[in-house]
Amino acid sequence: MNNQIPNVTLNNGVKIPQLGLGVFLVKDANELKQSIKWALAADYRHIDTAMIYENETAVGEAIKESNLDRKDLFITSKLWNSDHGYEETKAAFNASLKRLGVDYLDMYLIHWPSPNYIESWKAMEELYHAGKIRAIGVSNFQIHHLEDLMAHTDVVPVVNQIETHPYFQQKGLHDFMAKHNIAHEAWGPLGQGKGNVLNDPTLTELAKKHTKSTAQIILRWHVQRDEIVIPKSIHENRIQQNRDIFDFSLSDEEMAKIAAIDKNQRGSRSPDDTEWLEKTAKK
């Protein structure tokens, strides 16, 4: 079996590597740059950051130091809640470009469905049509947010980046997105250390059977659900291990076993927490 990282073709024809490196909570610039260096050495070409992570500058420095051709990299960043609005979105986008030291983004996402996301999306559509962003999408949107967005705008999101792991499989949202050709991108794909998913007996049994780690079994499950995954790590061996998931496959029976352990157990904030969304939207 080919062990190369495959691409997923988004609904606008842009190709995104199915596996990327997430950099959430990595604040130390040297630690971040080292993890990106290891990831690039392991053939990762997709890096996912956000304004609120406070590490776009370090990501940009790591990209520059890599000496890789910009067109060979796929860089995602995200619009924070307090930057929603038409003009505000354009200003926030340009600030992200400057911090990253690039002149376009491969993908830009609305981070959360906080107030005024439709105006933000209209600004992003304009930036997209101007060639400043190759693909635009959303993150943490529920079905009703996606329906609202699509009813009032012209460009269908290419992805919805949502919390997804074996204990929170998002089956209804997953099916809705597949129906509307919106790619499912999983954040926290290994459960973020919450809920003890890495010690689940079904998953550890499959890991033993395939002589893989439990994390590799989980990431392979995501991939076979046609999801894009962005596991975070600052450890060289885990970055490599997370990448080595394309040389084996899970059977339909094994996929069904993992489907059966879903607990609908969200480990992070709900996108329907309107009080928090409104609070974080304030300047």
Catalytic residue numbers read 53
Report the b/e string of 246-280 with b at 16+ CB within 10 A. Answer: beeebeeebeebbeeeeeeebeeeebeeeeebeeb
- What is the rounded CA–CA span in Å between residue 2 and residue 7? 13
Cβ-contact 150, 180 below 8 angstroms = yes
Determine the straight-line distance between the first and last CA of the chain, rounded to whole angstroms: 51
Residue 89 sits at the vertex; the CA angle it makes with 84 and 93, to the nearest 5 degrees, is 135
Residues in the chain: 283
